[in-house]
Every structure is written in C-alpha cells, then in structure tokens.
Amino acid sequence: MNMKLRNIGFSIAVVLSGCAQPPPAPEVKPTVTVDPVAAVKAIRAAGEGLDSAVQVQPLRDPAIDGFLAKAHTAEAARDYAGAIAAANSALKLAPDAPDILQYVAELEIARGNWLPAEQTAIKSFTLGPKVGSLCARNWQTVVEARTALNDAATVAQAKQRLKECRVAPRLRM
C-alpha cells in the first residue's frame, strides 16, 4: 500500500510539473530614437526667458567656476566624459548646487544616459527653486529622458510639472 501511494504521489508530481510554465519574459519597450544633442538644446531652450525674478545665490569658491569653465570647454569639444569629470570636481566643492547638478544631467543626456540624467535632474529640482529657468530645465530633462525610454505617462506628468515652473508676473497697478 505504501508503495502504491508513493507511485501515485510520484505520478501526480510528474503531471503537475508538466503544467508548470516558465514565467513570461518581461515586456521590453522599444526606445524611441532621440538625438541627445537636440535633447540638450530643448532642455536649455525650456529655461530661456524665465529668470525675471531676483535670485539670491551665495558666493562661490573661484575653483568651482574654473572647473565649470573646463567642463564647458570639454562639452564644446564633445568630450562629454571630460566635461562630466570637470563638473563632478565642481560638485565636490559644492555638492548641493542645483545648477551644477542640472548641468551634469544635461551632460548625461548628451551621452544618452537617460536614467542617470533624470535622477540628477530630480535631485537638482529637489534642492533648487521650484519655479523659473532651472525648474523648467529640470522637468524638460525628465521629458527628454522619458521620451527616449518610451514612457508616455511620465512624459505627460513631467510636461505638467514643466508648466508649473512658469509663474505669471504679479499684476501691478
């Protein structure tokens, strides 16, 4: 009897194992072809003309400006790795500088590194002003990154947040 139960149990296990299927492969969304250089231009254009308010910024260490100048020179030569290295040197001196973080995000976009760019832009937004030019550049970075990753829902949300960066001037009488 014990042998019959063992055989029946074995038979059931064999039948059930035949029913098991491997999990479905994760759905891979095709990425949209986005020109990284054009994306950087769109990001920078999003911030143009929005700095009508007075912004108070602390004095910076002159070395930061030197590193940023080096980064801009490297970027102009399309040496994005060199530009990021120089910008990261500036960030070591001012780790919470939202404008430098946003610049690094734009360099990551130029390299086609969409997720690191988005994460850096969000950090910049968190530390920076919630309106104006930098805010617009932060959210346009998210728009460009998520467009490249074919994430329409997040693109729509980021575009809404981008609109919130523009504040109408006060009515003066």
**Residue environment code for 63-87, b if the CB has 16+ CB neighbours within 10 A, otherwise e:** ebeebbebbeebbeeeebebbbebb
Please provide the DSSP assignment of 110-168 as one string. Answer: HTT-HHHHHHHHHHHHHHS-SSSHHHHHHHHHHHHHHHHTT-HHHHHHHHHHHHHT--P
Across 66-86, average pLDDT: 97
Say if residues 122 and 141 touch (Cβ distance below 8 Å): no
Mean pLDDT (the chain, rounded):
84
Which pLDDT band holds residue 83 (cuts at 50, 70, 90)?
Answer: very high
| Burial class (CB within 10 angstroms; exposed 0-12, middle 13-18, buried 19+) of 57 | exposed
Q: Taking 80 as the threshold, does the pLDDT of residue 115 lie above it?
A: yes
Q: Decide if pLDDT at 90 tops 70.
A: yes
- The tens digit of pLDDT for each residue in 135-169 reads 999 999 999 999 999 999 999 999 999 999 987 76
Q: Is the pLDDT of residue 25 over 60?
A: no
Could you tell me the two tokens for 162?
């981008």
Q: What is the pLDDT at residue 166? A: 86
Q: Which residue has the higher pLDDT, 28 or 147?
A: 147
Q: Tell me the pTM.
A: 0.77
- Encoding tokens for residue 149? 């990753």
Q: What is the pLDDT of residue 43?
A: 95
Confidence of residue 27 (pLDDT cuts 50, 70, 90): very low
Lowest average pLDDT, out of 11-15, 64-68, 115-119, 148-152, goes to 11-15
Domains located in the chain, CATH noted: 32-50+61-164 (1.25.40.10)
Work out the average pLDDT over 7-35. 55
Record the tokens describing residue 153, joined without a space.
């829902």
